[in-house]
Structures are given as C-alpha cells and as structure tokens.
Amino acid sequence: MDVLDDHVPASQATAALLEVDDLRVGFAAGGREVRAVNGVSFRVSPGRTLAIIGESGSGKTVSCRAVMGLLPAGTVVTGSARLRGTELIGLSDSQLRRHRGADMAMVFQDPARSLNPTMRIGAQITEAVRAHRKVARGEAREQAVELLRRVRIPLPDRRYHEYPHQLSGGMRQRVMIAMALACQPRLLIADEATTALDVTTQAQIMELLLDLQAELNMALIMISHDLGLAASYADEVVVMYAGRIVEQAPARRLFGAQGAVRMRYTRALLDAIPQLGRPAHTLLPVVGGRPPDAAARPPTEPDLAEHVPGHRWACWHPCQNGDGE
C-alpha cells in the first residue's frame, strides 16, 4: 500500500470505483416511517480499504445493501451510488442483477446461516460462476476448486462435495469469500465478515481478504463495529451513527498517536476498547444512552463538514484536543 500524505484523503488518490452521494433509505415498519439511512456519502478506490464503523442500527449494513440492491421490496432509496460511472440507484432488479456478483460482491456475517444447508458447497460456488458467464459444467467445477484453493482451503477437491455443516466456521467463511470472488468483482463488501469468528480465525480471514484485494486490485469495504479491526486493516474510516456519517478520516489520522478524534462518539468507541496497559478490573467506559429512534428523529442535526483537510466531522461541540474534552 502506498504511503500517503495525511492531508490527501486516501480514497481520492486514484479514480473512485464506487461513489455514493447523499444516500437515503426509508421504509415503513409497524405503522411508522423508519429512516434507516439519512444522507450518506463516501468513495472507495480500487486497492483501497474503507471501514464503515457503527453500532447495530446505525445504518451501515442498510447503506451497503442499498448499493447492492438487496433491500426488501417496499424500501425507498434515494440518492446516488455510481459504480464505475454506472448509476445503481433506480435500476430495475434485472439490470442490477448483472452487476451483483459480477462487479460487486458481498460477504455476509454468519456463514452458518448464509450458506444453503442442503446444497453442497461446490454447487453453491459453481452456481455463482455460471450466474454471469457461459461456462460448461466441467470447467465451472474446475474454477470452483481453484477458488477454494485460492481461499486456502486444504484438499479443495474433497471439500467441493461437502455440505456447509461439515466445515468449521472459518472454512465456511472462506467458502463465502470464494463464492463472492467467483466472477472477479471490482468491489467487495465484507459485512461483519469476521464478527462470528474467534479471534485467531478473524485475523486469518482478514489477512486473506487483504491478500486477495492486493492480487485483484479490488476495492474493499469492511463493515464492522470493531474499531480495532478498522485500525489494523483499513485505509479510511467512516463512523456512522443513527443513519448518518458523523466522522470520516484516514485511519492513520484517526488512530494515530496524536489522536485527532473530534467526535465524542468516536472517542467513546475508542475508549471502550479494552487495553492491555490498563490496571486489572478497570471498568470500561460505555457509550451512554441509545441511538435515537429512527422513526422519530430530532428536527435538526449538525452537518458533516470538512473542517480539516481530509477529516470531516459533524458536531456542534467537537472535542478540542485529542484526549476528548
């Protein structure tokens, strides 16, 4: 990865692959109108990793699913999401399908539930291969085995015939990645891809993802609630809260020793990470309160503005110095 000047946002160094502008998602639930995403904008370039961090309900998953077109019927999506210049919002499902899996792919959180339990994993991968390309069965099978090998699954020939429940969690996630890569997408979205795994496997999967990214020069979006993960692997970080981006900066800047965090929220998230250096039994500072009800939002909210080149935040009372006061 290139070493970049702190002042130039990493994602703008090369032409952006995905440009999301003012994305808004709303749907009706239980008699009320829920606004899950309220004006989200970001960019990702090939070879770069963007981390979207937030609590459950912050809208991070919904934003990415809106880009992929995987939201249930009856959801209203406005705004713009351009993949290599092609506007995705507003496309019909059959048009979007041509991009899904081919140009942009997604890896999901719980591979136990995200893989069809009654279908052999080999068949699930060849299905992905043949969805977008006219490939004969035998060749699709070879490609699938090759993909399994690429995601570092031992004995791929044998695993090809197995069912998901016969594999461990980490292996299942590798299979999901193999499926996502079947047509060599330009953009890979990993939606909490490592959340359901133990720490060691987590590290392995992340390393795998980054290696594959470098090999294929993919843009990678990692969705997570784990700031530590973002710190280790991301180029740029976007913090979401209640459907909006509240802080956005290169990872180096956010997590650097001088601590340029401006949002109390981000600060609180950082402080909540357990650290080895602290005395035993230190209580972890918890982010107080709950995210606002997405169906009853406060009437005004601060804008997201680039107050310092490369670093944006949305706050009326930002932290004055890096230590959060």
Partner 1 sequence: MTGARLAGSPALRLVGRRLLAAIVVLWGVTFLTFAVMSALPNDTAQVLLGLHATPAQVAELNKALGLNRPFPVRYWHWLVGLLHGNLGTDLEGASVNSQLAQHLPVTLELLAYALIGSLLLAVIVAVLAARKPNSLADRFSLGVSMLGLSAAPYAFAIFLIVIFAVKLNWFPVQSNSLGSGTLLSFFQQGTLPAASLGFPLFAIYTRLLRADLVEQLQREDYIVTAKAKGLAPWRVLIGHALRNSVFSLITVVGLNLGTLIGAAAIIEALFSVPGIGAELLTAIGNKDVPLIEGVVLVFALVTVLGNLAADLAYAVLDPRIRYGRSTS
Partner 2 sequence: MAAPRPEAALPGTGYLPPGPPLLPPVGVSSRRLASQRLGRALRLWIPAGIVLLILATCFLLPQVTSLPSPTNGNILDAGDPPFSPGHWLGTDPVGVDVFSQLVYGGQVAFEIGFGVTGIGIAVGSLLGVTAGYFGGWVDAILSRVLDILIAFPALVLALAIAEGLGPSEVHVIWALSAFSIPAFGRLTRGATLVVRDLPFMVAARLAGTRGWRVIARHVLPNIMPGIVTFSLLGIGVVIILEGALDYLGEGIPPPTASWGAMIASGQTVLTAQPEYVLIPSIVLVIVVAALNMLGDALRERWGVR
Q: Work out what residue 78 binds among partner 1, partner 2, none; the CB cut-off runs from 5 to 8 Å by kind.
A: partner 2
Q: Should residue 211 be labelled a site residue for partner 2 when binding is judged by CB under 8 A?
A: no
For residue 288, what is the DSSP state? -
Q: Work out what residue 198 binds among partner 1, partner 2, none; the CB cut-off runs from 5 to 8 Å by kind.
A: none
For residues 260 and 265, give the distance between their C-alpha atoms in angstroms, rounded to a whole number: 13
Among 11, 38, 45, 58, binds partner 2 (CB under 8 A): 38
Q: Should residue 27 be labelled a site residue for partner 2 when binding is judged by CB under 8 A?
A: yes
Neighbouring C-alpha atoms within 13 Å toward the C-beta of 201: 14
What are the beta bridge partners of residue 52?
A: 223, 238
Residues that bind partner 1 (CB under 8 A): 68, 70, 72, 93, 97-102, 105-106, 108, 110, 113-119, 127-128, 131-132, 162-163, 165-168, 171, 176, 179-180, 182
Q: Should residue 306 be labelled a site residue for partner 2 when binding is judged by CB under 8 A?
A: no
Nearer to partner 1, 152 or 311 (CB): 152
Considering only residues 88-117, where is the footprint of partner 2 by CB under 8 A? none
Q: Should residue 316 be labelled a site residue for partner 2 when binding is judged by CB under 8 A?
A: yes
Q: Which of 285, 240, 297, 289 is nearest to 263 (CA)?
A: 240
CB of 317 vs partner 2, minimal distance in Å: 8
Amino acid, res. 165:
H
Q: Which stretch binds partner 2 (CB under 8 A): 6-14, 50-58, 232-240, 291-299?
A: 291-299
Among 298, 320, 323, 325, binds partner 2 (CB under 8 A): 298
Q: Work out what residue 76 binds among partner 2, partner 1, none; the CB cut-off runs from 5 to 8 Å by kind.
A: partner 2
CB of 268 vs partner 2, minimal distance in Å: 17
Q: Work out what residue 162 binds among partner 1, partner 2, none; the CB cut-off runs from 5 to 8 Å by kind.
A: partner 1
Sign for the pseudo-dihedral over CA of 9, 11, 16, 22: negative
CB atoms within 10 A of CB 139: 13
Nearer to partner 1, 97 or 264 (CB): 97
Nearer to partner 1, 19 or 191 (CB): 191
Nearer to partner 2, 76 or 284 (CB): 76
Which residues 6+ apart lie within 8 Å of 153 measured at CB? 159, 171, 174, 175, 178
CB of 301 vs partner 2, minimal distance in Å: 7
What 3-state DSSP class applies to 142?
A: helix
Nearer to partner 2, 12 or 80 (CB): 80
Among 207, 211, 303, 306, binds partner 2 (CB under 8 A): 303
Classify residue 14 by burial, with Cβ atoms within 10 Å: 0-12, 13-18, 19+. middle
Q: Should residue 225 be labelled a site residue for partner 2 when binding is judged by CB under 8 A?
A: no
What 3-state DSSP class applies to 250?
A: strand
Antiparallel, parallel or unpaired: β 104-107 and 311-313: unpaired
CB atoms within 10 A of CB 92: 8
For residues 236 and 48, give the distance between their C-alpha atoms in angstroms, rounded to a whole number: 8
Helices and strands (H and E) in the chain: how many:
11, 12
Structure token digits, residue 282: 């230190």
Using CB under 8 A, list all residues that contact partner 2: 24, 26-28, 31-33, 35, 38-39, 74, 76, 78, 297-303, 316-317
